Amino acid sequence: MAIIGGGLGAGLTKGSERRLNILVYTAMGVLLLVTVGDILPDAKADLTWPEFLLGAASGMVLFWAVSKYIYHICPACAVHTFDNAALARLGQTAVLFMVALGIHATMDGLAVVIGDEIAGRANIGVLVAVSIHKLPEGMALVLLLIGAGYTRTRAFWLTVGIEMMTEFGALVGVLFLRGLPPVWLGIIFAHVGGGFLYLVGTTLNSFRILAPHSHNNVHERAG
């Protein structure tokens, strides 16, 4: 889904912001529903309240720290906050940006595997939520890289490489996390859920504040 989103993003022109907004709102709504209705309840099942809250808080703190000290961990948020100066800096520090997005994608892959492990079956809800939010993520990532000066082709392939970290996260989950005691699985799942809550909160807050007055620099460069 992220690769499809990247392909669509590479072909977007001016006036595409409204379509991206709709996709982001839809994706974040689905992610919020699954996080609140599936991920966090499943995580809590084998945890005490202190363990659960610590796990969820650690996920929020991780994503906050990455966003503050490395780069925006959510490209769908960043696409609205990057002006020309920020895009120029992104072009100079693209490696840090890719590291931040790689951490994000790795957590997505972990979420799918741990969701299956805790549920004891294929957790379709988590898989669908992660997949849907990947579509606007891939679009926004390509747009940011184009705005930073990369060609459409290079921006697309960089997006593919970054998003493949989702598979890396899933592989880590399969190789190292399966068979862990339920308490540890619950803490890690709560950690993932906390990170997802941070993504939803910061994305929707960014759109609420900036959408009416948002810059069109990324889309102008893409055009």
CA angle 45, 49, 53 (to 5 degrees): 100
> Average pLDDT per run of 10 along the chain, which is 223 residues long?
92 65 87 95 96 97 93 74 69 84 95 93 94 92 88 94 96 92 95 95 68 48 54
Pair of tokens at residue 165 = 């970290």
Largest Cα separation within the chain, whole Å, is: 52
pTM of the model: 0.86
User: Phi first, then psi: what are they for 87, rounded to 5°?
Assistant: -65, -35
Which runs of E-coded beta strand occur in 65-156? none
- Residue 221 is predicted with a pLDDT of 54
- Residue 212 is predicted with a pLDDT of 44
Rounded Cα gap, residues 41 and 2, in angstroms: 27
Residues 188-214, buried b or exposed e (16+ Cβ, 10 A)? bbbbbbbbbbbbbebbbebbeeeeeeb
Pair of tokens at residue 216 = 């069109």
What is the DSSP-derived secondary structure letter of residue 16? -
In the chain, DSSP finds a helix count (H) and a strand count (E) of: 12, 0
Residues 76-96, buried b or exposed e (16+ Cβ, 10 A)? bbbbbebeeebbeebeeebee
- Residue 88 is predicted with a pLDDT of 72
User: Is residue 129 within 8 Å of residue 32, measured between CB atoms?
Assistant: no
CA angle 37, 50, 191 (to 5 degrees): 50
